[in-house]
Structure 1
Amino acid sequence: MNDTIKTYFDAFNAGDVDTMLSCLAEDVAHHVNEGQVRTGKPAFAEFCAHMNRCYRENLTDMVIFEAENGNRAAAEYIVNGTYLETDEGLPEAKGQTYRLPAGSFFSLRDGKITRVVTYYNLADWIAQVSK
């Protein structure tokens, strides 16, 4: 298993953004579900601050896959979350909980993540928090 990816996800679950950032290359490209590509660590840190304000999430049932050359990896997992603060353009937050399958894809260079792509079913999430 790729140590960088494991460290990244362990840090995510611990709410340790600094360690997550230490796993990233300076020029990381962050492709978010239903959004624009963000480039660089500062943009990623800003995204994390926003997410931590609006959501509390823990990832379980993690399976990490790695390409033979170590330059690519993928993970599938379950996002267990609580919607804390209304995110612009989305339903009102009232402390709703959700459980959502998701996946991430990574490119790596010299032990650092250069690309993060995250996918989940936004319609499923909206249905769960709209109840």
Structure 2
Amino acid sequence: MTDTQLIQTYFDAFNAGDADAMAALVSDDVRHHPNQGEVRTGKEAFRAFLSEMDRAYREEARDLAIFTGPTGRAAAEFVIHGTYLESQSGLPEATGQVYVLPVGSFFEIAEDRIIRVSTHYNLADWLQQVGG
């Protein structure tokens, strides 16, 4: 599978809400760098993050553009269309607010698995959209 195909498959699984399929694409020692918060290391920590996200948000990545560079490096730019379903600690109360947010993700790939994913978006923009 090419790096582009791997990242496309990752986002297809994301849009399908298929955490198992997403987890199957990452290495056992994946490093996950979220926009806010601590870096998570390992597939189980990644799965726990996905579970929390599925509980609190319903999201779809649209207008996906995938970029590849040197072997083992890729990036994706997309627009998240989401609904805030359940309140998160330190964030505004969830009341089903909808949001549309540009996002970028950066990937390191080895042996047909994602070994690092870093996601970035404008938190102030999201807070404004959900009433924070």
TM bin (shorter chain): over 0.9
Unaligned ranges ≥5, structure 2:
none
Match of 1:78 in 2: 79
**What secondary structure sits across from 2:28 in the alignment?**
strand
**What is the identity, as a one-letter code, of the residue corresponding to 2:33?**
H
Give the TM-score, by structure 1 length: 0.97
The 5 A counterparts of 1:13-32 are 13-32=15-34
**What is the identity, as a one-letter code, of the residue corresponding to 1:100?**
L
Match of 1:111 in 2: 112
The 5 A counterparts of 1:36-75 are 36-69=38-71, 71-75=72-76
1:100 aligns with 2:101: yes
How far residue 46 of structure 1 moved from its aligned partner, in angstroms, is 0.3
- Root mean square deviation of aligned Cα: 1.0
How far residue 68 of structure 1 moved from its aligned partner, in angstroms, is 3.9
How far residue 42 of structure 1 moved from its aligned partner, in angstroms, is 0.2
How far residue 10 of structure 1 moved from its aligned partner, in angstroms, is 0.2
**What is the identity, as a one-letter code, of the residue corresponding to 1:103?**
G
Determine the C-alpha separation between the residues in 1 that align with 2:26 and 2:36. Answer: 22
Match of 2:130 in 1: 129
Determine the C-alpha separation between the residues in 2 that align with 1:34 and 1:11. Answer: 23
Give the TM-score, by structure 2 length: 0.96
Determine the C-alpha separation between the residues in 1 that align with 2:98 and 2:36. Answer: 21
Q: In the TM superposition, what whole-angstrom CA distance separates every residue of 1:12-40 from its partner, at most 9, and x where no partner exists?
A: 00000111001001000000001110000
Give percent identity, aligned residues only.
55
Determine the C-alpha separation between the residues in 1 that align with 2:36 and 2:85. Answer: 20
**What is the identity, as a one-letter code, of the residue corresponding to 2:127?**
I
Unaligned ranges ≥5, structure 1:
none
**What secondary structure sits across from 2:105 in the alignment?**
strand
Q: In the TM superposition, what whole-angstrom CA distance separates every residue of 1:45-86 from its partner, at most 9, and x where no partner exists?
A: 0000000000000010100001142x0000000000000000
